[in-house]
Structure 1
Amino acid sequence: MRAFNQIYEFNMSRRDEIKFTYLGKITTPSPCGRMDQACAYGNQPIAIIFDGDVTEVIELKVPKDLFFVIVDLATHKNTQVFLSKLN
């Protein structure tokens, strides 16, 4: 979405890019959620708060680089099945 936004000058915000990327993703058989939206922020540390369909992103200011991710998906996922469905 970011590439299309830049090439076609849609002038979308980062949050709009994320929103439309997610809407496109859920049309596939992918059981993926919204955690990968953090990638859109690159090296910017963020906190993502999920409350149903509402997602809040808080850009964090930290004095040093952070190198960890804490995630509890409370589910399971079979990447091989997911990739075979995409093929």
Structure 2
Amino acid sequence: MSGLNPIPLEARASAKTPKHKDTAGTCRERATADLLKSVTMITANERLTLERSAASWQVRANLLDRLEDTARARGLSASQGLSA
């Protein structure tokens, strides 16, 4: 042996970031955050970039709402078809 004492390793949780949920609500939160940030931007280009980003998040939120509505309607019609 070399005379070195091994340092015991402690088990710890990994430093993974929580998975971001892709929901209409989350997209709306991002849109709101971008609009709030755009107010503090100095240049017109920075403001326009954040405003466009906010508009894109809003469009995505609307798309996710429609997808959820369609999935919900399909689930209802499927469950009604099974009970009939």
Q: What's the TM-score, normalizing by structure 2? A: 0.29
Give the structure with the higher percent strand: 1
If you compute each CA radius of gyration, which structure gives the higher value, 1 or 2? 2
Higher relative contact order (CA 8 A, sep 6+): 2
Higher helix share: 2
Q: TM-score w.r.t. structure 1 length? A: 0.28
